[in-house]
Amino acid sequence: MFIPKRIIFEKEALEYEISKEILTKFKENSNIEIIKLNSNRLKQHIPDNELFSQYIEGKKTLVVGTKKSLKFQSCKPSAHYQLPLVSGCMGQCEYCYLNTKLGDKPFVKIYANLDDILNQAQKYIDERLPDITIFEGAATSDPIPVEPYTHSLEKAIKFFGSSKSGRFRFVTKYNDVDSLLKLEHNGHTEIRFSINTSSVINKYEHFTASRDKRIEASIKAAQSGYPVGFLVAPIFIYPNWKEEYHDLLLELSSKLPENLQFPVTFEIISHRYTTIAKNRILQVFPESQLPMNDEERKFKYGQFGYGKYVYPKESIDEIKQFFIKDIEELFRNKEIKYII
C-alpha cells in the first residue's frame, strides 16, 4: 500500500466522500503532511531542490483531485479507452514509461469523482453498441497501491461486472489484490501482472512487489475466476537470462490452477528505449546499469513516428523462439498475444 509523505487535497475534491475517508484515515499520522489547496498551485507544495529530489518527493506525494475533462483518451491497441482512475505510481522503476510522461514531479493523483467517470464510461459504451467497449485502468498508473483507500478498482470491477457491453482491464506490478477477490466481476475484468525475473526486478524495479509476491497474487486472481494475463516485460538479454526466464515461467505454470476458465495470456516485450527516455533515466538515475548502449541496438521507427533502440534482429528472434517454445511446453490453456 502506498503511504505518502504528503497528501494534497484539491479544493473541490474535499466535497467527495472518498476524500473525507482518506483525510480521516491519514490525518492522525504525524509523518504525513496534509495540505488543503485554496488555489490550483499544487506543485509549489512539493520540494524541488534538484531533479532527483523532485522525482523522489513527487513519488511520495498523493494528490486527491477530480477529473475535470471527461473526454477519455483512446488506448489502442490494448483497449478502446483509458479509464482515468489514478495517474502516477509509487514505484520507481528505472525504465518506467511514466518517467517521460509525468514531468519533473511525478506525483500520484487519484480522482474523487468516480461516479462521473463511470457515468462517462457508460456513455462511451452506449455509443459503440452493440459492440463491446474495453477500458484500460492502468494506462498512466499502477492503480493497486492506492486501492486500499480509494476502492476505485473495486467500484470499476463491480460496474463492469454488471455491464453487458463494457469490459475492463488493468496491469500491475503489485500484489495487494485481496480486496478484489470476492467481487462480482463476471469475468468482465482482466487482471494482468507485469512480471520479470528476480534479477531484473531487484536491479531496476525499485519499490515494487517481488517476483514471488506477484506470482502469488496472480494465482489468487486466477482462483477467483478472473481472466489473468502476464506481461513479461521488459525482457533483457543477460548472462543466464534463459535459465531465469524459464524458472519464472516454470514457477507460474506449476502454481496456476488446472481448470482455468479463461486462457492465460502472455504479452512479451523486449527492452527498448528512446533517446528522450534514456536521457531522462540517466538524469534521475545517474548510476543506472540499464543496458542502453546505442551501438549494441538497432534503431527502429515506431508506429507513433519516433524511433526506438531495440535489440538486433538475431536477439529478437532468439527471444521469440525461447518464449514460444517454453510457453507451449509449460502451459495448456494459454494464448501468446504477441512477442516483440
Alpha carbon of residue 175 to chain centroid: 12
Cα–Cα distances (Å) from 110 to 117, 251, 332, in that order, read 12, 34, 39
Smallest distance, Å, CB 141 to ligand SF4? 6
Q: Which of 91, 143, 227, 234 binds ligand SF4 (CB under 6 A)?
A: 91
| 23 vs 282 by CB, closer to ligand SF4 | 282
User: Quick check: helix, strand or coil at residue 248?
Assistant: helix
Stretch that binds ligand SF4, among 68-76, 91-99, 185-193, 330-338 (CB under 6 A): 91-99
Q: How far apart are CA 72 and CA 80, in angstroms?
A: 10
Dihedral sign for Cα 173, 179, 182, 185, please. Answer: negative
Binding residue count for ligand SF4, defined by CB under 6 A: 9
Q: How far apart are CA 1 and CA 15, in angstroms?
A: 24
Binding track, positions 179-208, relative to ligand SF4; x by CB under 6 A: --------------------------x--x
Q: Is 62 among the residues that bind ligand SF4 (CB under 6 A)?
A: no
| 125 vs 292 by CB, closer to ligand SF4 | 292
User: Quick check: helix, strand or coil at residue 298?
Assistant: strand
| 34 vs 276 by CB, closer to ligand SF4 | 276
Report the site for ligand SF4 in 155-174 (rule: CB under 6 A): 173
Q: Which of 35, 56, 98, 219 binds ligand SF4 (CB under 6 A)?
A: 98
Stretch that binds ligand SF4, among 8-16, 88-96, 151-159, 243-251 (CB under 6 A): 88-96
Q: Any idea what the Cα angle at residue 184 is, between residues 183 and 187, rounded to 5°?
A: 110
Candidates 182, 120, 110, 112; CA nearest to 145 is 110
Smallest distance, Å, CB 9 to ligand SF4? 23
| 173 vs 297 by CB, closer to ligand SF4 | 173
Q: Which of 10, 57, 142, 244 binds ligand SF4 (CB under 6 A)?
A: 142
Q: How far apart are CA 201 and CA 153, in angstroms?
A: 25
Q: How far apart are CA 90 and CA 84, in angstroms?
A: 17
Helices (H) and strands (E) in the chain, counts: 11, 16
Q: Which of 37, 63, 86, 89 binds ligand SF4 (CB under 6 A)?
A: 89
Return residues touching ligand SF4 (CB under 6 A).
89, 91, 93, 96, 98, 142, 173, 205, 208
